[in-house]
Amino acid sequence: MNTNADAIVIGAGIIGATTALALTNAGMKVLVIDRGNIASGTTSAGEGNILVSDKAPGPELDLALRSRDAWFEIQEDIGGGFELEAKGGLVVARSESGVVGLRALTSVQRQAGIDAQDVSEADLRALEPHLSHSITDGALYPQDSQCQPMLAAAEILRAVRMRGGEFIAGANVTAINTSNGAVTGVVTSEGTFNAPIIVNATGTWAGQIAELAGSSLPIAPRRGFILVSVPTRKIIFHKVYDAEYVANVSSGEADLQSSAVVEGTQSGTILIGASRERVGFKDGIDFEILRVLARQAIALFPILADIQLLRAYRGFRPYAPDHLPVIGEDPLFKGFWHNAGHEGAGIGLAPASAQLIVDGILGRTSFMDATPFSPTRFTRGEVS
Amino acid sequence: MEHKHQVIVVGGGPAGLNAAKYAANAGCEVALLDSATRLGGQYWRNTGNEIEDQATHHDFDQGSLLMDAVTANPRITHYPNTTIWSAAILDDEITLRTQDDVFSTTRLILATGAYDRSLPFPGWDIPGVMTAGAAQSLLKGEGVIAGKRIVVAGSGPFLLPVASGITSHGGKVVGVIEAAGRFAWLPEILTLLQNPTKISEGLGYLLTLRKAKVAMRFKQAVVAAHAGADGLLDSITVANIDAEFRIKSTYSLQCDVAAIGWGFTPDTSLAGALGLKEEVAADGSVVVVVDDNQCATSPQPEVQVFAAGEITGIGGSGLSLAEGAIAGLSAAASRTNLRQLKKLRRRAHRFALTLQRVYSIPAGWQSWLTPETIICRCEEVNYEAIQDVSEKFGADDARSAKLMTRCGMGMCQGRICSRNVADLLNSPDSDRIKGVYRPIIAPITLGELAQDGLL
């Protein structure tokens, strides 16, 4: 099969979709392939977070700040349809040390350009009337947003198709062809497709795709569970989470870490996260973790004790050893670009990551220096 | 509390009762877990009023004897009002959790039964339209006749006891509308003759209906329902249908209740949560795969899980009783009477397959739908939204439809709609099986989950 694409994007999750849109908008003819269907990996296993609040100053925060605004630009560009909402994040501290840590964090975040507002006890009640009375300190992040990630991926890919791109579902990549140190195409269960540029946007599975070309990427799964309640009246108004979450996000521990993240959705359900553990692609439901999540959520919102759990799901965050995404050209093969490893922040970071990829491919100056995300950092020995 | 048992049976209907009885008689110590207050399951629907139950059920005597035998057996502990919300196999042991208790065993028999199958059509969400089973349980459970002018419709032998039950309690059935033909039985007459008790049961119902001058209409179906000014059911559109269920002509019928049953869907939630092997049966339902001894394929061979009754394929009480007995014996590693029971099961199975052929549901029902017809009632997803998913996004699988439209994500977790959505999208078997996977088997409050100290 010959599709004469300028670029092939492997992966139809949020990273693949936004990358395909950015390439298309730059004038390239793009083919997107996925072994499953739209959003069949980690994209459908999260809450749709677009957060700036959970990041300390550094390259990832610069990426997040740009990406947050880029989400609203995509909404303008393609006409929305994916429930994008600046609902605001509310981070609460439950201990003395937590309060001190949170104040210190908001202070440096403000210097880095985040709108981070320290919230008094009275204001906390006004923002979240059902919050536990034992909680007296918090910080509000009006920039924190949310979207429905499956719809976002689907709507974005629809725009790509309408603008001349192509999407093939159920195409499992079995080989990546290279010649003279450059990629030339992919062999899939649905045929062979050739293009001088191949973007690996396969998230948690990006290491396997890199290996098919003869390269490597140290991306591993970090499992997480989410509880979903029955639909209720609106009782939680922001994305509310425990300040400990910020520490857990950047932790390298393999053991289970869990801190409450609670929010309502447009469909009336309440989502409760977030656990993190490195146990490989372990299947099944771990009821010990569900119990911890329920306990932590009730500690924030005692009213949740009487609300029924409807279902639970798990996902595998794509995780690199230094917790930074991998965005850039492969050190061994020209034309082979990686855009993966965004861990639990993939939805939020997707549009700006896509922009870095396109600017890299076209050799343009981008909104930030992409060196911290380069895949060469693993081979240079900077990260072990 | 934590309870350990040699054998645990889940489900107090015909299959579960017989499984418990046979396992206990073969020397096992058995726990029988059931979500209802009284034994008997949906089939015997034991109200505790024996005179009334005998009057409303043609073979309540058989059920009564079986329930008495189970209750009197000192080796069987009955746990009523016991709803399992999660199940797992951990450390070579099967663990079942209820609100207050944890049950563990190495030998489990699942007999979780089935629930009514509904087909969507314009107006099926109007108050007054209900399943045949709902009309039946109103009558038997609450002693309530569902309406003043009742239509019983759909397909299958279950419509007859529902209609005759309403009639014999003084209710007015204005019509029994059966999608199969009047003589649909003829090609299967030999199987029918091998089951004389079924003939006498059916004739009994028909006699009751004839006495009450209830019209039986064949090769017809309710294809639309209409609300009156009060928002309640006022009339239905009945269609003459062809063999594929496509509409040939229609007429209108006044009624305030339409009790509609299209057979049953096995409730395999518990089996799926345990990771047992499932497959798609000839009638399109997802069923548990079992071997000749009713043994299911467990992901961990150290534990034994058996399945009996409707969850291995819709087949009625006779087949359920036989399968339950075999499962009970197998769990006890006994071979007493096993050969005779297997012979009985073979005959009941043949009869079940005949029923499925006579009352099969071809895809023509899909032509009754309009773009506005609700497919998923919990999340109010209409037919157009589901079609849009494939047209707009180029994704035509059931999972994409669920993720993009929320169909099947609501309170019932797809119990009502997932089979219909799979039919509409012509889903492969693998999608049908994934579509019934529900790790949280029944809702539990977050407070109960948080307090569970037995995990």
* CB atoms near residue A216 (< 10 Å): 15
B132-150 pLDDT, tens digit per residue, is 999 998 988 788 899 999 9
B-facing residues of A in 226-245 (CB < 8 A) are: 227, 229-231
Q: Is B450 an interface residue toward A (CB < 8 Å)?
A: yes
pLDDT band at B452 (very low <50, low <70, confident <90, very high): low
- Rounded Cα distance between A156 and A82, Å, is 9
- Rounded Cα distance between B410 and B397, Å, is 19
- Rounded Cα distance between B15 and B323, Å, is 6
Amino acid (one-letter) located at B264: F
pLDDT at A381: 59
Radius of gyration from C-alpha coordinates of chain B: 22
Token pair listed for B57: 């059920």
B195 vs A109 pLDDT, higher one: A109
Residue A30 domain flag: yes
Mutation for testing the A interface, residue in B446, B448, B452, B455 having most A CBs under 10 Å: B446
pLDDT band at A307 (very low <50, low <70, confident <90, very high): very high
Q: Is A307 an interface residue toward B (CB < 8 Å)?
A: yes
For B204, the 3-state DSSP assignment is helix
- State whether A309 and A226 are in the same domain: yes
Q: From the CA of A13, how many Å to the nearest CA of chain B?
A: 12
CATH of the domain at A372: 3.50.50.60
Could you tell me the maximum CA-CA distance found in chain B, to the nearest angstrom? 63
Q: CB–CB of B411 and A230 under 8 A?
A: yes
Angle at A41 between CA A40 and CA A47, to 5 degrees: 100
Q: Is B275 an interface residue toward A (CB < 8 Å)?
A: yes
Of B86, B413, B450, the CB nearest to A310: B413
pLDDT band at A382 (very low <50, low <70, confident <90, very high): low
pLDDT band at A380 (very low <50, low <70, confident <90, very high): low
Highest mean pLDDT among A70-79, A222-231, A278-287: A70-79
A174-226 pLDDT, tens digit per residue, is 999 999 999 999 999 999 999 999 999 999 999 999 999 999 999 999 999 99
Q: From the CA of B79, how many Å to the nearest CA of chain A?
A: 23
Q: Count residue pairs from A and B with Cβ separation < 8 A.
A: 95
Nearest to B47 by CA among B134, B175, B140, B172: B140
- Rounded Cα distance between B351 and B79, Å, is 33
List, in order, residues 6 or more apart from B428 with CB less than 8 Å away. Answer: none
- State whether A123 and A253 are in the same domain: yes
Closest chain A residue to the Cα of B398, Cα to Cα = A37
Residue B358 near residue B344 (C-beta atoms within 8 A): no
- State whether A177 and A95 are in the same domain: no
Complex ipTM value: 0.88
Residue A82 domain flag: no
pLDDT band at A3 (very low <50, low <70, confident <90, very high): low
Strand partners, A198: A8, A336
Q: Listing from the earlier edge strand, what are the strands of the sheet with B304-307?
A: B76-79, B30-33, B7-10, B107-110, B304-307
Q: CB–CB of A291 and B400 under 8 A?
A: no
Q: From the CA of B434, how many Å to the nearest CA of chain A?
A: 13
Q: Is A44 an interface residue toward B (CB < 8 Å)?
A: yes
Residue B62 near residue B41 (C-beta atoms within 8 A): no
Angle between helix A149-162 and B398-405 (nearest 10): 110
Give mean pLDDT, residues A44-72.
94
Residue B403: its chain A contacts at CB < 8 A?
A: 39, 44, 150
pLDDT at B455: 43
Residue B29 near residue B7 (C-beta atoms within 8 A): yes
Q: CB–CB of B447 and A304 under 8 A?
A: yes
For A97, the 3-state DSSP assignment is helix
pLDDT at A384: 47
Residue B244 near residue B363 (C-beta atoms within 8 A): yes
- Architecture in CATH of B369-435: Orthogonal Bundle (1.10)
Q: CB–CB of A294 and B455 under 8 A?
A: no
Residue A298: its chain B contacts at CB < 8 A?
A: 446-447, 450
Residue A257 domain flag: yes
Listed range (A249-253, B2-6, B293-297) with the worst mean pLDDT:
A249-253
Q: CB–CB of A231 and B438 under 8 A?
A: no
Of A38, A158, A311, the CB nearest to B413: A311
- State whether A225 and A134 are in the same domain: yes
- State whether A94 and A240 are in the same domain: yes
Residue A96 domain flag: yes
For B149, the 3-state DSSP assignment is coil
- Rounded Cα distance between A145 and A153, Å, is 16
Q: CB–CB of B455 and A151 under 8 A?
A: no
Nearest to B218 by CA among B246, B239, B249, B247: B239
Residue B392: its chain A contacts at CB < 8 A?
A: 154, 158
List C-alpha distances in Å: B170 to B58, B147, B153, B165, B452: 18, 11, 19, 9, 49
For A166, the 3-state DSSP assignment is strand
Residue B88: its chain A contacts at CB < 8 A?
A: 284-285, 287
Q: Is B442 an interface residue toward A (CB < 8 Å)?
A: no
Domain range enclosing A207: 7-74+149-219+323-379
pLDDT band at B435 (very low <50, low <70, confident <90, very high): confident
Strand partners, B102: B2, B97
Q: From the CA of A230, how many Å to the nearest CA of chain B?
A: 6
Of A167, A306, A309, the CB nearest to B394: A167
Token pair listed for B71: 């209750």
Q: CB–CB of A231 and B413 under 8 A?
A: no
Residue A353 domain flag: yes
Q: CB–CB of B404 and A150 under 8 A?
A: yes
Q: From the CA of B406, how many Å to the nearest CA of chain A?
A: 9
pLDDT band at B372 (very low <50, low <70, confident <90, very high): very high
Q: From the CA of B418, how many Å to the nearest CA of chain A?
A: 16
Residue B439 near residue B274 (C-beta atoms within 8 A): no
Q: Where are the domains of chain B?
A: 2-115+265-336, 118-262, 369-435
Residue B221 near residue B177 (C-beta atoms within 8 A): yes
- State whether A310 and A252 are in the same domain: yes
Q: CB–CB of A308 and B392 under 8 A?
A: no
Closest chain A residue to the Cα of B391, Cα to Cα = A158
Listed range (A116-120, B53-57, B262-266) with the worst mean pLDDT:
B53-57
Q: How many structural domains does chain A have?
A: 2
pLDDT band at A251 (very low <50, low <70, confident <90, very high): low
The secondary structure of B379-412 as a DSSP string is TTEEHHHHHHHHHHHS--SHHHHHHHH-TT-STT
Give mean pLDDT, residues B51-71.
83
- State whether A368 and A235 are in the same domain: no
Residue B130 near residue B258 (C-beta atoms within 8 A): yes
Token pair listed for A31: 């083919």
CATH of the domain at A247: 3.30.9.10
Mean pLDDT value across chain A:
92
pLDDT at B352: 92
The secondary structure of B64-119 as a DSSP string is HHHHHHHHH-TTEEEE-S----EEEEETTEEEEE-SS-EEEESEEEE---EEE---
* CB atoms near residue A234 (< 10 Å): 9
Residue A150: its chain B contacts at CB < 8 A?
A: 403-404
Residue A83 domain flag: no
Q: Is B444 an interface residue toward A (CB < 8 Å)?
A: yes
pLDDT at B437: 87
Q: CB–CB of B411 and A310 under 8 A?
A: yes
- State whether A137 and A153 are in the same domain: no
Q: Is the pLDDT of residue B201 over 90?
A: no
Final residue of a structural domain among A272, A295, A319? A319
Final residue of a structural domain among A272, A292, A319? A319
Q: CB–CB of B450 and A294 under 8 A?
A: yes
Q: Topology of domain B118-262, per CATH?
A: FAD/NAD(P)-binding domain (3.50.50)
Residue A304: its chain B contacts at CB < 8 A?
A: 446-447
Q: A58: alpha, beta or left, given left = phi > 0 and alpha = psi -120 to 50? A: left
Closest chain B residue to the Cα of A43, Cα to Cα = B403
Q: CB–CB of B404 and A305 under 8 A?
A: no
Residue A20 near residue A160 (C-beta atoms within 8 A): yes
Residue B278 near residue B270 (C-beta atoms within 8 A): no
Residue A295 near residue A301 (C-beta atoms within 8 A): no
List C-alpha distances in Å: A380 to A334, A376, A377, B212, B227: 17, 6, 5, 89, 72
- State whether A195 and A303 are in the same domain: no
Q: CB–CB of A310 and B400 under 8 A?
A: no
- State whether A236 and A371 are in the same domain: no
Q: CB–CB of A158 and B393 under 8 A?
A: yes
B167-180 pLDDT, tens digit per residue, is 999 999 999 999 99
* CB atoms near residue A252 (< 10 Å): 9
**Rounded to a whole number, what is the distance in angstroms from the first to the last CA of chain A?**
41
Give mean pLDDT, residues B370-399.
88
Strand partners, B287: B279
B405-421 pLDDT, tens digit per residue, is 889 888 888 899 999 99
User: No. of H helices and E strands in chain A?
Assistant: 10, 19
- State whether A234 and A315 are in the same domain: yes
Q: Is the pLDDT of residue A262 over 80?
A: yes
- State whether A250 and A155 are in the same domain: no
- Rounded Cα distance between B76 and B91, Å, is 25
- Rounded Cα distance between A265 and B175, Å, is 45
Token pair listed for A374: 């380069």
Q: Is the pLDDT of residue A155 over 80?
A: yes
Q: From the CA of A312, how many Å to the nearest CA of chain B?
A: 7
Q: CB–CB of B450 and A44 under 8 A?
A: no
Residue A102 near residue A95 (C-beta atoms within 8 A): no
Q: CB–CB of B399 and A37 under 8 A?
A: yes
**pTM assigned to the model:** 0.89
Mean pLDDT value across chain B:
92
pLDDT at B203: 86
Residue A258: its chain B contacts at CB < 8 A?
A: none
Q: Is the pLDDT of residue B194 over 70?
A: yes
Residue A295 near residue B450 (C-beta atoms within 8 A): yes
Residue B452: its chain A contacts at CB < 8 A?
A: 287, 291
Return the CATH class of domain B2-115+265-336.
Answer: alpha beta
Final residue of a structural domain among A298, A319, A340? A319
pLDDT at B51: 74
For A192, the 3-state DSSP assignment is strand
Radius of gyration from C-alpha coordinates of chain A: 21
